[in-house]
Amino acid sequence: MKIAVIGTGISGLGAAHFLARRHEVTVFEQDSRAGGHTNTFDVATPRGTLAIDTGFIVCNPVNYPNFYPFLNELGVRLQDTDMSLGVSVEEGRIEWAGDENLAKIFAQPSLMFSPTHIRMLLAVVRFNKQVKQLLADDALPDITLGEFLEINQYPMALRVRYVAAMAGPIWSTSTAGVMEFPFPAFARFFESHGLLNVYERPQWQTVVGGSRSYVQKLLAKFGGEMRLNAKVLQLRRENGAAFVRTSAGEERFDAVICAAHSDQALTLLQDASDAERAILGNVPYAKNRAYLHTDKTLLPRRRWAWSSWNAILKSDALTDEPIGVTYWMNQLQRLPKAITGDTQYIVSLNPPRLPDPASVLYEVDYEHPQYNPATIQAQARLAEIQGQRHIWWAGAWTAYGFHEDGFKSALRVVGAIDRDCLPPYVSGIDLQLPSNDRFNAPMDSAAPALA
């Protein structure tokens, strides 16, 4: 078959890699590099070069059961990291951190005497226990996270400084936006990622040499045609085929896998059906500006609160302002001190104020899928449009928005087009239910491999 793949994120590259084993695959990427959100930037220093991740950074073997064997197959090496979280509110007025060193809860010692902080800590224990019980009883109420916290009278400090501070950086949204998240999806995600426990969390890892290493290894083995700087302008279907238009003209394919974001995908369709409009149109994306810089004033004020991930909140209330996230890359990627010296390398998304311009090494716009009840309904309908009139849909947006989600969406499409192209390690994907393993099943469920 002649197959086109649009996009070179994990979803597009994953699908192209496997299908190229038995088909004629052409990949279209609008950018000048392959990788999408896998975007490692080289920083030259007098002591050597640092390969710093600005997009996809971490994964773990429990929640990424398909992606790990894939990395292994490519010969990619991983190293352990720590996923501590620092929280800094109103320019450091309130700061605390959560990692295995429980003393960091009081990184700001005066909080030991703050009734609000103590009430929040007690509420964390109650919250974790209640959510676990609801999961065990299979009794998750079909309401938003905000409604759940309101009905159960959780204090505002828990909502802002704990729940939103943890969830905001994961989905790059505002403190108010976190509250729109469907509670069952939130609960399952937090449970499967060990976020309802203080200990017993999965061992997170980063890719040695930066996450682009796996892209480079994949491209070195790729059996299809890769076209960079090739933006797809339009997709249309006619006479048993799909047609891809770029500035170079229109080409005919037997099948097209569109692995662009849902909103980008919809703009390409000249002849979108009602279902395509309803599904792709209800998984919105929000833009976030990311800066790689060395301005350490965007880390928490107190050195002890510096963590791998830091939620930087402008306000101690629920607002529509995007939550600032600061990734401390020296710690996350274990950058060698012999090269970094005393410089802190930081990636900030939506910082509350811009980093010192002299410290900015690279900046880029990213987009994150945003979740609300309509999104979940749209995802549940994905099977309705899969493969309809020769177009297939893949992307991290089909589930929680992470690398395993994108990779799984690619495997699902590969399996539907030609099962013989699938790798032997496929896990947790049911081709009879092409989209239903997203929010409805535990993330780490290891279903039997496809026959």
Ligand X SMILES: Cc1cc2nc3c(=O)[nH]c(=O)nc-3n(C[C@H](O)[C@H](O)[C@H](O)COP(=O)(O)OP(=O)(O)OC[C@H]3O[C@@H](n4cnc5c(N)ncnc54)[C@H](O)[C@@H]3O)c2cc1C
For ligand X, the binding residues (CB under 6 A) are 6-12, 28-31, 36-38, 55-59, 231-232, 259-260, 264, 268, 290, 349, 366, 368, 395-396, 401-403, 406
Residue nearer to ligand X on the CB measure, 29 or 295: 29
Residues 103 and 105: their CA atoms lie apart, in Å, by: 5
User: What's the min distance (Å) between Cβ of 402 and ligand X?
Assistant: 3
Query: Among residues 124 and 332, whose Cβ is nearest to ligand X?
Result: 332
**Measured from the CB atom, is 157 or 170 closer to ligand X?**
170
CB of 408 to ligand X, least distance (A): 11
Q: Which CB, 102 or 446, lies closer to ligand X? A: 446
> Encoding tokens for residue 200?
């017993």
Partners of 325 in beta bridges: 311, 349
Q: Residue 338: which of 41, 44, 47 has the closest Cα?
A: 47
- What's the angle, vertex CA 68, arms to CA 15 and CA 61, rounded to 5? 140
Shortest Å distance, C-beta 198 to ligand X = 21
The CA distance from 187 to 378, in Å, is 19
Cα distance between residue 52 and residue 49, in whole Å: 9
CB 289 within 8 A of CB 145: no
Min dist CB 169 to ligand X, Å, is 9
Least distance in Å: CB of 178 to ligand X?
16
Pure H helices in 109-180: 115-136, 145-151, 156-157, 165-171, 175-179
CA distance 305 to 84: 10
CB of 122 to ligand X, least distance (A): 31
Q: How far apart, in Å, do the first and last CA atoms of the chain sit?
A: 22
Per DSSP, 104 falls in state G
- Least Å from the CB of residue 339 to ligand X: 22
Among residues 117 and 408, whose Cβ is nearest to ligand X?
A: 408
For residue 55, give every residue at least 6 positions away whose Cβ sits within 8 Å of its Cβ, in sequence order, or none.
Answer: 35, 36, 37, 38, 39, 211, 290, 366
Separation of alpha carbons 193 and 442, rounded Å:
10
C-beta closer to ligand X: residue 159 or 412:
412
Closer CB to ligand X, 14 or 146, in the complex:
14
Q: Which amino acid makes up residue 401? A: G
**Judged by CB, which is closer to ligand X: 23, or 261?**
261
In order, the DSSP letters of 53-70 are ESS--EE-TTT-TTHHHH
Q: Which is nearer to ligand X, 108 or 310 (CB)?
A: 310
Q: What's the min distance (Å) between Cβ of 384 and ligand X?
A: 20
Q: How far is the CB of 272 from ligand X (least distance, A)?
A: 15
Element (H, E) at 216: helix 212-221
Single out the residue of 206, 204, 186 nearest to residue 196, CA to CA: 186
User: Considering only CA atoms, which of 39, 38, 13, 40 is closest in space to residue 27?
Assistant: 13
